[in-house]
Each structure stands twice: as C-alpha cells, then as structure tokens.
Chain A
C-alpha cells in the first residue's frame, strides 16, 4: 500500500495535496472563517448588556462615521503612521546599506542589532524608553549638561516619545525588508557608476536606491500597517492626546464590550489602510505585482 502511495505521490500531486491540507485547513478555520465572522459581527446591534445583540444593521458603521471623536482617532493614527514610516524607512535604508557594505564581525553585529529587537516583546521595547525620555531622564540630563537647554523638555509622555517608540518597533522590519533586496545586488554596478565619475552620494541615490525599491516598498507598507495600528508605543509613551484607533478598539472590546462597533471600526480602518498601501506600492514599484516576498 505504501509503495503504491509512493508511486502516486511521484506521478501526481496527491501527496502535495495531503501535505498542504493541514495548513490550508488551519488557515481556513482560524483565519478566513474568523474574518467572515468579524464582518458579520460588524452588522449586529450594540447591546446594553453583553457584547452585542443579533441583528442586521449598519448602525455600527454609522456611529463610527458620524463620531468626531473617531475622526480624530483615525486622523491621529494615520498621522503617526506617516511620520513613523517616513522616519523608519529613511533610517532603515541607511542602516541596511551599511549592513550590506559591512563585512565580517561588523556585518554580524549590525545584523544582530536588527534581529534581536525584532524578537523582543513590544512591552520591553516601549517600556525601556520611558527612563530615557522622561523629563528627568537620560536624554534631558544630557541636553542640559551640554547646555543645549536649561529646563527639561517633555519628550515623553508625548508625541516625540510616541514617534521614537513606534520607529523603534518598525525599524527592524524595515531594515530586513530592504536588506533582503540589497543582499542580492551586485556591487559591481555601483563600482561601475563610481568609475564613470559619479560621487558616492550620487551613486547611492541613482544606483542603490532604484535597485532597493522593491524592498523599500515592502518596508513602507509593513511600517505603515504596523504604525497606523500602533498600540504599545502610544499607550506607554503618549500623553493621552496620542490615542490611536487600536487603543480605542482595545477599550471597545475589553472594557466597553461594544463588539459591533469595534468590528466595524477595525474593518473601516483595514479598508482605508489597504487603499493607502496599494497606492504606495503603485507609486514605488510601478505595479502591485513587483513584490515577491517579505
């Protein structure tokens, strides 16, 4: 029987179907179906007691779209998304290039500094910035010692701290996305440009950056999706004015128990993030199909 099975597997793709079945079933049961139930939940009615009341209404969407509070949250989420993404991607392009150019121990160190924060919990990444950015913290001590400022600056809690925390969170993803593209680039092309008389900054801008565009596109979309959905950095390092839609969803779901509104709000946000991401992809790569992997 097994020999027969082996021959079947070799001649046809039956074996592949059997191998793929567990993963396909898992994704269907725990990702695709839950998502459909989320859509269904957004059409239920909010209830006084309990998380929701069965129904079929667009009330949840209406209450999100009508609320000026939610407009502010959406505006702030996108603002943080844009700022953090621009800062993170520019720094990441530089750092990925440095890691690409480096050799030996230096290369290992630079890559280690990327992988380690990537595999560290968000709690640690945001919490550790607090003593650094606090009014009586390290950065302020430093600035006052140098004489750049005479009184402490409110870095955190506030917008500055939120952006620093969020950039710190998405930076490793952005570096790796760009690095994985750069690592396939042939250094000879840059050498050629230099031989033809291009200065280093110019050869970087005109040879390296275009080559890295698919990686930059992925870095931008990932950083953007993660920053618009920011939760840990604004809660830990924000002052309360820095409230994102993710923080509101957490309180809608776990504190206010208003599930239809939470579902509708997150679906509206996902839709608008998707539109922006696709536009960015188009802009950066000329086509949506240019991205192969992350």
Chain B
C-alpha cells in the first residue's frame, strides 16, 4: 500500500475511533433524558410509551422536593466556603514562599485522591467524636474538602496570569490592601472566581458517597435519595432526577465555557 492511501486508512480509523468513544460517553446521558419521559413503571430503553408522568410525580413528592432544598443549601454553603478558602489560600501561596505555602498544596489535593468512602468514614468517626451533629454542616465540610482543591488550582492559574505590578502600583498610591484587592485584583480575576464557585457548587451537588455517610434522617441530598431509592426499585423517577442533575452540570459547563473557553476549562480541571 502506498503511503498516501495507508495514511487515509489511518485517518479514517482514528476518526471513527474517537467518534465512537464520543458516542459511548454521551450514551448514558442520552438514556437518562429519554427514559425520564417514559410512561411505564419499570425502566426500559428505549421506552415503549412516552409521557410526563414521572415529572408530575417528582413535583408532587415532598421527599424529593425537600432533597432538592437540602442539596441546594449544602451546595451553596460548600461553594461559598470553598471559594473563600480556595481564593484566599491561592492568593497567599502565589505571593509567598514560606514553608506553609509549600506544604499546603499537596495537603489540600490529597482528599481528591483518596477513595471517597475513606473520607466518608473518616469524617463520620470525627464528627461523632467531637459531637458535631448537624448533618447540613457535616456534609458542607465534606464537600468543601473536595471542592477547595479545584478552586485552589483554578485560581493558581488565574493568578499566575495576573499582572502583579498593578497591585503594587495600587499599594504605592496608598490604597489599603483590602481596597487594592477589591478594586484592582478582583476585577481582573472575577471570571476565574465565578467559574470556581460554579464548579464548587456542581461538585457538591453531585457528590454522594460522603453525603451517604453523613446524612441524617432529615437531611438527604438528591443523589443520596436517588441512590437509596435505587436499592428498592429501578423506576424512571431516578431518570427524572438524573435529568435535572445532568442539566445543572450542562448549564454550569456552558456558563464557564462562555466566560472563558472549553479548552481553558479542561486544562484547569
């Protein structure tokens, strides 16, 4: 075979390969959306009949709606906490070469690399020992542990691109540090902060293993309730809930991609 025709075959195989993978990656997400409009009691794909029945049942269910409220409250809490800790910590590490700023990044990265079951059990034992009984706060803390490294590393690359002489100029003109941060630094890194907060919220919304360990009878996040209801039966209700969860991620990713771009986002995560 000549080189040109061989390369044409290679090209075709290469392209077929990654589009096939792309299709397989998107397939489960398609299943979620399609089966959420299913009529029947038991999950089948593709469904034989379509209706909005399970959406109706979702909005009529107090249990699910209270899980939505719990998830939103925990997500906002974790997002705010992770963003504050991640942005301040990242700013500090950027501008300092103290021993602490060398030790800290590996420590905050570590929770992401441990199996979530292990973090779940570690925190369960801990909150019991110190008598910390609010399931809300416990799950917020667990999710912050996970979201903070993402905020931290996104902000590291955002701050790395910031021109620090602007800050120094502000300082030289006599502005106090908090004013310089608010008027000079923040406007330049605002989109990075927004993206960090969105990512932190989504990470909290979707996490379920730690939330499973730390849930209480009254406080259950949406993925935890989905998981426990799967253990009893495989109904399209979970598809409806999943569709909402996937949609929030799609909106979040699109917002982040519109502010920066997809490539930048991929390199940060």
Contact = CB atoms under 8 A, between A and B. Distances in A.
Nearest to A125: B28
A-B residue pairs, 6 tightest by C-beta: A229-B115, A23-B89, A128-B28, A16-B96, A19-B92, A2-B176
B175 A6 contact: yes
Interface in A170-220: 171, 176, 179-180, 183, 200-201
Contact of B29 (A2, A120, A250): A120
B257 interface: yes
A34 B122 CA distance: 6
Interface size class of B (residues with CB under 8 A): 35 or more
A119 B110 CA distance: 19
22 contacts: A19-B92, A24-B104, A30-B145, A94-B18, A94-B21, A98-B18, A110-B18, A111-B266, A118-B269, A123-B238, A124-B28, A127-B226, A168-B25, A171-B25, A183-B263, A200-B10, A225-B114, A229-B115, A231-B116, A254-B213, A263-B125, A269-B118
Given A17-B92, A121-B206, 6 more contacts: A37-B125, A116-B253, A128-B31, A176-B266, A180-B267, A230-B115
A132 B115 contact: no
Contact of A27 (B98, B108, B174): B108
A131 B46 CA distance: 9
A95 B178 CA distance: 45
A32 B107 contact: yes
A124 B111 contact: no
B101 interface: yes
A200 B13 CA distance: 12
A137 interface: yes
Nearest to A38: B122
B241 to A, nearest CB: 9
B246 A201 contact: no
A16 B121 contact: no
B118 A201 contact: no
A256 interface: no
Nearest to B248: A119
A171 B28 CA distance: 14
Contact of A17 (B27, B46, B84, B98): B98
Contact of A23 (B86, B118, B199): B86
Interface of A: 2-3, 5-6, 9-10, 13, 15-20, 22-24, 26-27, 30-35, 37-38, 41, 51, 91, 94-95, 98-99, 107-125, 127-132, 137-138, 168, 171, 176, 179-180, 183, 200-201, 221-222, 225-226, 228-232, 236, 246, 249-250, 253-254, 259, 262-263, 266, 269-270, 293-294
B130 to A, nearest CB: 9
Contacts of B184: none
A19 to B, nearest CB: 4
Nearest to A171: B25
A97 to B, nearest CB: 9
A117 B21 CA distance: 13
B262 A122 contact: no
Nearest to B88: A19
